[in-house]
Amino acid sequence: MSAVRTLDESAPPATTGVDDFGGKSTGRALTDQLARVVMWAAFVIALIPLVWILGTTVLKGGQMLLDASWWGNSQSGITARRVGGGAVHAIQGTLIQAFVTALISVPIGVLTAVYLVEYGRGRLAKTVSFMVDILTGIPSIVAALFIYAVWVVTFGFQRIGFAVCLALTMLMIPTVVRSTEEMLKLVPNELREASYALGVPKWKTIMKIVIPTSFSGIVTGVLLGLARVMGETAPLIILGPYTKVIATNLFDGLMATLPTMIYQEYSENLQPAVDRVWGAALTLILIIFLLNILGRFVGRFSKVRN
């Protein structure tokens, strides 16, 4: 009996739901609730200026977008004191320049990221990464002045829409490179190793496994870059001055965009022009919003299926 009593006394006590580190876990529960409150408070504080900006833009610019002429007419013949006019010339210019900028930036940015993640070793990779970091911190006006010095001063070319695209490319490439690089790093190495074990070459593994797996993240990075360059103003003012007529040729004459339309109309400082400023701002927000929806749709239906 004494042996049995000794075994019972030496057995570990049954769990009673009490914290081993001193009483009930009230402290951890309070910490969890405090962290939850702080997180939601930070979210609400960050949301306030966003809702304020969107609400103000919709209230002051929504009326312009409800007018059919806004989507079908340009500002040709419209003075600052005259009510009305459209923004089709600026919308077309913004979309054309964004498309050409993406056409140049996306292949360069994605291929650079693939090199840094999959092949980059030694001094060359460090130099490329360092140059991408430098481009990330360059202000838009510096990029515009650089292209102006090369395009206009050195070669003597005219200020045209394509020169704007070159400046915007300098701003978009680092965003695409860094976002794509991070997405490629998230691809598990097991996928690469399984492909290599089957005898698949490295370049085909990248094309068939790595890039498709991270495609949705790459699309997100491209959209972030587009959202940045579509709202830039300094390169447009320096390299592609505003015009009120429809112009779709990047290599001939001036070209209107929504940012330069906002700048030009705001400088008039008259109420009809100010109304068009809010309308152009809301139109730009709407275009970027639609591009983000399109990008999410493409990314969702382009994922690798198991």
For residue range 60-83, what is the model confidence (pLDDT) as tens digits? 988 888 888 899 888 888 877 777
Whether 128 is in a domain gets the answer: yes
Q: What is the dihedral of CA 184, 186, 190, 195, to 10 degrees?
A: -20
Q: What range defines the domain where residue 207 resides? A: 88-300
Two structure tokens written together for 107: 């292949």
Instruction: Specify the pLDDT at position 221.
Output: 86
Q: Which residue has the higher pLDDT, 242 or 18?
A: 242
In a domain, 245, yes or no: yes
How much is the pLDDT for 17? 47
When pLDDT is cut at 50, 70 and 90, the band that residue 25 belongs to is confident
- Predicted confidence band at 302 (pLDDT cuts at 50, 70, 90)? low
User: Domain for residue 13, yes or no?
Assistant: no
Could you tell me what percent of the chain has a pLDDT over 70? Answer: 90
Question: In which band, very low, low, confident or very high, does the pLDDT at 295 lie, cut at 50, 70 and 90?
Answer: confident
pLDDT of residue 67: 86
pLDDT band at 306 (very low <50, low <70, confident <90, very high): very low
Q: In whole numbers, what is the pLDDT of the chain averaged over residues?
A: 86
User: What's 242's domain CATH number?
Assistant: 1.10.3720.10
pTM for this structure?
0.82
Calculate the alpha carbon distances from 213 to 43, 120, 174, 191 in Å. Answer: 30, 20, 21, 10
For residue 161, the one-letter residue type is: G
Task: Report the C-alpha gap between 79 and 144 in whole angstroms.
Answer: 29
SS (H, E, C) the chain: CHHHHHHHHHCCCCCCCCECCCECCHHHHHHHHHHHHHHHHHHHHHHHHHHHHHHHHHHHHHHHHCCHHHHHCCCCCCCCCCCCCCCHHHHHHHHHHHHHHHHHHHHHHHHHHHHHHHHCCHHHHHHHHHHHHHHHCCCHHHHHHHHHHHHHHHCCCCCCHHHHHHHHHHHHHHHHHHHHHHHHHCCCHHHHHHHHHCCCCHHHHHHHHHHHHCHHHHHHHHHHHHHHHHCCCHHHHHHCCCCCCCCCCCCCCCCCCHHHHHHHHHHHCCHHHHHHHHHHHHHHHHHHHHHHHHHHHHHHCCCCCC
Higher pLDDT, 297 or 18: 297
Query: For the chain, what is the domain count?
Result: 1
Q: Is residue 96 over pLDDT 50?
A: yes
How many other β-carbons are positioned within 10 Å of the β-carbon of residue 152? Answer: 16
Residue 35 lies in a domain: no
Between CA 206 and CA 69 the distance in angstroms is 48
- The residues with which 19 forms a beta bridge, in sequence order, are 23
Q: Is the pLDDT confidence value at 3 over 70?
A: no
Q: Which residues pair with 177 in a beta bridge?
A: none
pLDDT in tens, 186-214: 999 998 999 999 999 999 999 999 998 88
- Domain assignment present for residue 225? The answer is yes
Instruction: Please give the Cα distance from 51 to 59 (Å, whole number).
Output: 12
Residue 303: pLDDT band (50, 70, 90) is: low
Q: How far apart are CA 252 and CA 8, in angstroms?
A: 95
Q: Over pLDDT 90: what percentage of the chain?
A: 47
Residue 24: per-residue pLDDT = 53
pLDDT at 282 over 90: yes
- CA distances to 23, 129, 157, 239, 255 from 169, rounded to whole Å, are 61, 17, 18, 13, 17
Check residue 13 and give its pLDDT.
53
Mean pLDDT on 135-156? 92
Q: What does the pLDDT average to over 111-135?
A: 91
Q: Can you tell me the mean pLDDT for 109-136?
A: 91
Contact between 167 and 143 (Cβ < 8 Å): yes
**Can you give the pLDDT at residue 284?**
93
Residue 111 within any structural domain of the chain: yes
Whether the Cβ atoms of residue 230 and residue 164 lie closer than 8 Å to each other:
no
- On whether residue 19 sits in a domain, the answer given is no
In a domain, 70, yes or no: no
Place of tokens 């940015």: 109
Rounded mean pLDDT, 211-232: 88
Q: What is the pLDDT of residue 11?
A: 52
Place of tokens 């990075």: 221
Residue 173 has pLDDT above 50, yes or no: yes
Angle CA 243–105–89, to nearest 5: 20
- pLDDT bin (cut points 50, 70, 90) of residue 293 is confident
